């Protein structure tokens, strides 16, 4: 009796045989030389804003993330005996679980708080007093709060690092790092010393930079790489835009920014399309730009990638999930390794 090979397996074998002898594409690890001193500078520091990162720190964090992602087996557990206080006072799936996954992977233990009504805050305790207590219970705090100022109030009473996992409509710096990691994995040539013109990128951001913390933080990181970004086009309706001085700050760093309301006209020229429609405000959320939707009929460049911080709604069709434009799932996966890189740099062993 002859054993039949499953068609899917046969197809995979043929593909692997066909690619034998073909030069392997460059990776982030190939291009970036390790400089551990740059990530070591983060030791013991809180992470509140994307403004805190220097260009080389972003690059080295992405390199370390790539090392974690390709290594998979870590051999040692540097955070053994360390405790993470995971305080998420606003709904979260990916961010909370990725931070907690990181801590477990690195050998640490977790105290998790998902409802402020179960803490002294419900009895009127100040955030600075809560922070004082946390100094004795953990080694680092990850906070998500719908109040823009909460993380700053806690910072006053903390002697351990705190990581901003999203504060209202203000910032989400670790999401922005995950976004940059996805981009550099897709096109590591952007990190070459001399980037060829054809490798530089045009980026569309479909979203509201004034109300969306993910967009706000990402634009700040983009400003560190204005030499390899030809243009950033903000696609939004006329009722939205920038805070006073926000656009000028980015342009002063060399970022070329343009605003457009016509998504269909702009998409064919874009290498990267970043889309979001949700902004958390208080105890609920706002939806922005619902007239902008990406689907299989959107006029995307053949090699363009789509990024989305997730969770998504109707703005990003599941029709695109099986397309080569889909980098949003890789983006979510990579967030774990970026946060591994960040946490292992911040927390002293």
The DSSP 8-state label assigned to residue 262 in this structure reads: -
Q: What does pLDDT average to in each consecutive run of 10 residues of the chain (349 residues)?
A: 48 47 80 94 96 97 95 75 91 88 93 75 77 93 91 92 92 96 97 94 93 92 97 84 90 95 96 82 58 94 95 91 96 95 87
Beta-bridge partner residues of 113: 87
The encoded tokens of residue 171 equal 């910032």
CATH of domain 31-171+334-346: 3.40.50.1370
pLDDT at position 18 is 41
3-state secondary structure of 35: coil
Tell me if 345 sits within 8 A of 177, measured CB to CB. Answer: no
Beta-bridge partner residues of 112: 86
Give the fold, CATH level 3, of 173-332.
Rossmann fold (3.40.50)
pLDDT at position 114 is 78
Tell me if 223 sits within 8 A of 193, measured CB to CB. Answer: no
pLDDT at position 329 is 96
pLDDT at position 21 is 53
pLDDT at position 259 is 93
Tell me if 101 sits within 8 A of 86, measured CB to CB. Answer: no
Question: Cβ of 213: how many Cβ atoms within 10 Å?
Answer: 24
Question: Cβ of 16: how many Cβ atoms within 10 Å?
Answer: 9
Tell me if 341 sits within 8 A of 39, measured CB to CB. Answer: yes
pLDDT at position 287 is 58
Q: Which residues of 90-109 are buried (b: 16+ CB within 10 A; e: fewer)?
A: bebebbbebbbebbebbebe
Domain boundaries defined on the chain: 31-171+334-346, 173-332
pLDDT at position 2 is 42
Beta-bridge partner residues of 285: 280
Q: Evaluate whether 31-171+334-346 and 173-332 have a shared fold.
A: yes
Q: Is the pTM of this model over 0.75?
A: yes
The encoded tokens of residue 176 equal 């922005």
pLDDT at position 113 is 86
- How many Å apart are CA 228 and CA 141, to the nearest integer? 34
pLDDT at position 93 is 82
Residue 22, classified by CB atoms within 10 Å of its CB into exposed (0-12), middle (13-18) or buried (19+), is exposed
pLDDT at position 49 is 96
Tell me if 334 sits within 8 A of 65, measured CB to CB. Answer: yes
- How many Å apart are CA 214 and CA 308, to the nearest integer? 10
- How many Å apart are CA 148 and CA 164, to the nearest integer? 10
Phi-psi region of 2 (alpha: psi -120 to 50; beta: other; left: phi over 0): beta
3-state secondary structure of 228: coil
Strand order in the sheet with 83-88: 109-113, 83-88, 140-145, 162-167
276 half-sphere exposure, CB direction, 13 A CA radius: 26
């Amino acid at each position: 009796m002859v054993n039949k090979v499953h068609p899917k397996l046969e197809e995979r074998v043929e593909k692997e045989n066909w690619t034998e002898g073909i030069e392997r594409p460059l990776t982030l690890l190939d291009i970036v030389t390790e400089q551990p001193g740059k990530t070591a500078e983060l030791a013991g520091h809180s992470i509140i804003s994307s403004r805190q990162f220097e260009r080389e720190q972003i690059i080295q964090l992405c390199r370390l993330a790539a090392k974690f992602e390709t290594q998979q087996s870590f051999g040692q557990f540097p955070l053994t005996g360390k405790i993470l206080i995971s305080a998420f006072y606003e709904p979260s799936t990916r961010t909370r679980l990725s931070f907690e996954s990181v801590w477990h992977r690195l050998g640490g233990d977790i105290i998790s708080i998902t409802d402020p009504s179960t803490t002294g805050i419900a009895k009127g305790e100040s955030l600075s007093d809560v922070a004082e207590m946390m100094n004795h219970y953990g080694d680092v705090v990850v906070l998500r709060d719908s109040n823009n100022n909460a993380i700053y109030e806690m910072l006053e009473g903390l002697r351990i690092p705190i990581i901003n996992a999203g504060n209202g409509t203000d910032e989400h710096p670790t999401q922005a790092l995950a976004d940059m990691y996805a981009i550099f994995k897709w096109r590591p040539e952007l990190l070459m010393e001399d980037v060829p013109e054809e490798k530089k990128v045009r980026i569309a951001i479909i979203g509201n930079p004034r109300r969306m913390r993910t967009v706000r933080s990402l634009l700040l990181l983009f400003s560190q790489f204005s030499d390899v970004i030809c243009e950033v086009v903000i696609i939004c309706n006329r009722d939205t835009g920038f805070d006073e001085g926000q656009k000028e700050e980015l342009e002063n760093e060399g970022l070329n920014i343009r605003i457009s309301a016509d998504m269909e006209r702009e998409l064919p020229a874009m290498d990267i399309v970043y889309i979001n429609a949700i902004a958390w405000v208080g105890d609920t959320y706002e939806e922005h730009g619902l007239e902008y939707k990406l689907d299989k009929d959107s006029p995307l460049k053949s090699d363009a990638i789509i990024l989305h911080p997730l969770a998504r709604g109707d703005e990003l069709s599941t029709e695109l999930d099986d397309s080569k434009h889909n980098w949003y799932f890789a983006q979510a996966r990579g967030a774990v390794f970026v946060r591994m890189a960040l946490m292992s740099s911040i927390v002293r062993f």
